[in-house]
Amino acid sequence: MKSKIVLFVAFSVFLAANATISPLSNLTPNNRTKCPEDNNRPPNRVNTTVVLKVLRDEMKKEGLSVYIITNSDENLNSGAHNMRVKRISGFSGSSGFAIVTDDKAVLSTDSRYFEQADDEMDCNWILLKSGVPGYPTPYSWILSETNIADSVGLLDASTTHSSFQAYTDNLQDRDVRKVTDDLVARNWTQRPPLPDNDIFIHTYEYTGQNHTDKISRIRNSINAGDVRIITDLPEIAWSFNIRGDDLNGLLTSPLFYSFALIPKDPAKNPTLYLKNFAAKLGKNNLKEHLKCDNQGQCPPNQQDCIKVKEYATFFTDLPNTPDRHILPSNVNLRVHDAATTPVKRNSAIQMMKAVKNDVEYRRYFECQVRDSAHLVEFMAFFEDQIVNKKADNWTELTAANYLDSIRRRDPVNRGISFGTISSIGPNAAINHYRPTKLTDRRITRNELYLLDSGGQYLDGTTDVTRTFHFGTPTADEKLAYTTVLKSVIGLASLVWPEGIKTNLVDMAARAPTWKTGWGYGHGTGHGISYFLTVHEGPSNLNYQSARDIVPNMLFSDEPGFYKSGKYGVRLESIVGVTKWKGAETYLGRTYLTFEAATLVPFEPKLINYDDLTKDERVWLNNYNEECKKKTGEYLKSKGKTEAVKWLEARTKKLSTTPNWDQTTQRPPSGGSALRQTSVFGLISLFLLYVLS
């Protein structure tokens, strides 16, 4: 115990030395890297002076000292219609919220978006860096800027019930209020309309399970007298085996605006709430699929029928539903308040959806072979353009558009799964950068090119990242790439006993980066859906989140390195969880491992092969063989000769018995965000030790 106390003291000194951010009283827009503005004003920066004044006028009308703004709605969706944060601040990232007072404005976001926010927001805004030592929490910042009894407003349609409770609990004697009228929307004259597109059936050949069987599983997860209230759009689409086209914002998902009620009692029909439901029922055999009539009503005693009603009537129906209302744990505040007998409980549908059935799992791997081939075809063409033909007319945007066009040729493709991250040089250092006409850069032969893209297919949702160089990479760039590759292999080759949580699995990927004293601020991996959303809960690979990981789940494996203002490296593949086929295990326990779904080779010119261990070389050889066997054979079957040559040049067998130098190398010099993330990693390891 004494040694742990000594360690704690030493660790506290270490944290103090790393806490370089200015104290709370000095937090202003000028703490940001790109404020005050000078002649190098970012081209995508938005002037927010007028919209802030208009919002503050509305706040005064409502008697509010503080207004908190998010991108969400009653369905926890953040499509273009709901991008309030972008409207008020200019920040277009998918994660972050704004806090506005009568004289200050703050954006709170995580390390994935620090650089993007610094670019896009003008100097009216303070950047509150979530999780960074020295920065206040949103609660403490609001307390420092307000007095007792000052009013704090949150829009009920864009706030979860849990968030509202947290603000109420943490803001002490402040008057935390529900706001029922969207103050940002009052003067949003060109607000994108709420989408209302057609719905279509996701057929049994792809789903492997009828929607009636899924509804039975959902009923079995609740108790007598319960009704499961479903507000999450991916859960609704999965439960009823239908898809739509209402979500085309930062993430492009085949979803549709809806709510659903599924009662425990099988004698009571489930109810699906849709926008313009009568018109939708008359198209794509939807009425026949749901077994209802033209008015959305069910025949007597037909238990496999789904009643369909208008979307807006959900809020008038819910208070009149007599059963106990089982709400998702992250339920929207407006939905929670409409329920007469609310009980918050984690939705069992999340895990049902995340654990793919055998048909989904098999077909997903087949989908990944095609998608991998599409990316290889693109890169073979693109490298020839840049390297051999010396083409200088390619930009981040034109490259992204051309890749998208190749994917769209696939007969079962239904678009992209998110806006393609096509980024050269310093733009690649911005984790979730997306090129626009204002930021678009020409593809060169002397910078790293990071390409993160994905497609939506009837048999899967894909997400893959590779980093390239079309000239001669520097030693720093090769070291960064090789270390990230070692992290990829560390996770992909891991074997662990069933029951281990995702936070411990995540550390296998971070170990190579932590060993060299740096890391990355995002999670190592996220769940991925089957023709739904590119990010899927409830599990993810992050050392700060302990979740279940079981066979037939799918995850991304995507460590990275980001050198601010210079370059970024990220390598991302999708892996599936499967049982390990070892001959003998400790105490007969079941062990799990990953199997590769994405089969796109890595870039040899960026790899320091002498830094790879024997096991890493063996893994890379095996992976390359899979790329040739599956992606290569598919390309051959389609007559893609140049793509096959490109793939084969990157999958040559390595010697597994090299005589390499194992001396320790220092990583390339990263920015402050890298130092901060390494601190978080050390904190995690320290807490695991102390609590053990």
Q: Are residues 427 and 371 in the same domain?
A: yes
Q: Are residues 632 and 536 in the same domain?
A: yes
CATH for 114: 3.40.350.10
Q: What is the DSSP annotation of 424-467?
A: EGGGGGSTT----TTT--B--SSSEEEEEE-EEETTEE--EEEE
Q: Are residues 638 and 597 in the same domain?
A: yes
Q: Which amino acid does the sequence have at 223?
A: N
Q: Measure the CA–CA gap between 661 and 655, rounded to whole angstroms.
A: 15
Give the least confident one: 215-219, 496-500, 513-517, 547-551.
513-517
CATH for 421: 3.90.230.10
Q: Which whole-number Å values give the CA distances from 123 to 29, 116, 235, 618, in the listed order?
A: 6, 14, 40, 52
**Cβ-Cβ contacts under 8 Å for 82 (sequence gap 6 or more):** 71, 72, 73, 158
Calculate the dihedral angle through the C-alpha atoms of 647, 648, 651, 656, rounding to the nearest 10 degrees. Answer: 180
b/e per residue 503-531 (b: at least 16 CB within 10 A)? bebbbbbbebbbebebbbbbbbbbbbbbb
Query: Is 90 exceeded by the pLDDT of residue 663?
Result: no
Closest CA to 350 of 520, 248, 221: 221
Calculate the dihedral angle through the C-alpha atoms of 49, 51, 55, 57, rounding to the nearest 10 degrees. Answer: 70
Q: Which whole-number Å values give the CA distances from 668 to 197, 519, 531, 568, in the listed order?
A: 49, 11, 39, 11
Residue 661 lies in a domain: no
Range 589-608 average pLDDT: 96
Chain position carrying tokens 């999708």:
574
> 397 with 440: CB under 8 angstroms?
yes
Residue 588 pLDDT level (bands cut at 50, 70, 90): confident
Q: Measure the CA–CA gap between 466 and 294, rounded to whole angstroms.
A: 49
- pLDDT the model gives residue 3: 45
Q: Are residues 110 and 150 in the same domain?
A: yes
Range 457-466 average pLDDT: 98
Q: Are residues 469 and 378 in the same domain?
A: yes
> 306 with 270: CB under 8 angstroms?
yes
DSSP assignment letter at 388: I
Q: What angle separates helix 358-383 from helix 641-649, to the nearest 10 degrees?
A: 90
Among the three residues 322, 354, 386, which one is the final residue of a domain in this structure?
354
Give the least confident one: 11-20, 199-208, 261-270, 308-317.
11-20
Residue 7 lies in a domain: no
Q: Are residues 418 and 566 in the same domain?
A: yes
Residue 3 lies in a domain: no
Q: Which whole-number Å values give the CA distances from 579 to 225, 292, 553, 586, in the listed order?
A: 38, 42, 11, 14
- The angle formed by the CA atoms of residues 486, 491 and 494, to the nearest 5 degrees, is 115
Written as six digits, the tokens of 1 are 């115990």
Give the least confident one: 4-18, 240-254, 564-578, 655-669.
4-18
Q: Model-level pTM? A: 0.89
Give the least confident one: 319-328, 475-484, 526-535, 660-669.
660-669
Q: Measure the CA–CA gap between 450 and 429, rounded to whole angstroms.
A: 9
> 310 with 196: CB under 8 angstroms?
no
Label the pairing between strands 573-579 and 125-129: unpaired
Element counts in the chain: helices (H) and strands (E): 22, 30
Residue 189 lies in a domain: no
Give the least confident one: 27-36, 265-274, 303-312, 333-342.
27-36
Tens-digit pLDDT profile for residues 111-137: 889 999 999 999 999 999 998 998 999
Give the least confident one: 221-225, 234-238, 484-488, 688-692.
688-692
Cβ atoms within 10 Å of 23's Cβ, excluding its own:
9
Q: Measure the CA–CA gap between 371 and 599, rounded to whole angstroms.
A: 9
H or E stretch at 324: strand 324-327
Q: Which whole-number Å values give the CA distances from 483 to 29, 432, 516, in the listed order?
A: 35, 21, 9
> 285 with 201: CB under 8 angstroms?
yes
Q: Are residues 308 and 275 in the same domain?
A: yes
Residue 618 CA, distance from chain mean position:
31
Q: What angle separates helix 475-492 from helix 502-515, to the nearest 10 degrees?
A: 150
Query: Is 50 exceeded by the pLDDT of residue 682?
Result: no
Q: Measure the CA–CA gap between 396 and 406, rounded to whole angstroms.
A: 16
Tens-digit pLDDT profile for residues 494-540: 999 999 999 999 988 898 888 888 788 888 999 999 999 999 999 99
Give the least confident one: 216-230, 573-587, 649-663.
649-663
- The angle formed by the CA atoms of residues 9, 12 and 15, to the nearest 5 degrees, is 155
Q: What angle separates helix 475-492 from helix 614-626, to the nearest 10 degrees?
A: 80
> 404 with 377: CB under 8 angstroms?
no
DSSP assignment letter at 161: H
Residue 136 lies in a domain: yes
- pLDDT the model gives residue 208: 98
Residue 1 pLDDT level (bands cut at 50, 70, 90): very low
Among the three residues 335, 354, 373, which one is the final residue of a domain in this structure?
354
Per the structure, the count of domains in the chain is: 3
Closest CA to 604 of 558, 666, 574, 646: 646
Q: Are residues 106 and 73 in the same domain?
A: yes
Containing domain of residue 97, as a range?
A: 21-179
Query: Is 50 exceeded by the pLDDT of residue 364?
Result: yes
Q: Are residues 271 and 393 in the same domain?
A: no
Residue 30 lies in a domain: yes
Range 311-321 average pLDDT: 94
Residue 677 lies in a domain: no
Q: Are residues 521 and 612 in the same domain?
A: yes
Tens-digit pLDDT profile for residues 618-636: 999 999 999 999 999 999 9
Residue 457 CA, distance from chain mean position:
18
Q: Are residues 28 and 171 in the same domain?
A: yes
Tens-digit pLDDT profile for residues 22-49: 444 578 998 898 898 877 788 889 999 9
Q: Measure the CA–CA gap between 275 and 197, rounded to whole angstroms.
A: 9
- pLDDT the model gives residue 37: 83
What's the chain's average pLDDT? 90
Written as six digits, the tokens of 313 are 């009537």
Range 440-464 average pLDDT: 97
Among the three residues 620, 635, 650, which one is the final residue of a domain in this structure?
650
Backbone angles phi, psi at 434, to 5 degrees: -130, 130
Residue 289 lies in a domain: yes
b/e per residue 353-369 (b: at least 16 CB within 10 A)? bbbbeebbbebbbebbb
Q: Are residues 450 and 383 in the same domain?
A: yes
Q: Measure the CA–CA gap between 629 and 639, rounded to whole angstroms.
A: 15
Written as six digits, the tokens of 580 are 């390990």
b/e per residue 35-63 (b: at least 16 CB within 10 A)? beeeeeebeebbebeebbebbbebbeeee
Residue 78 pLDDT level (bands cut at 50, 70, 90): confident
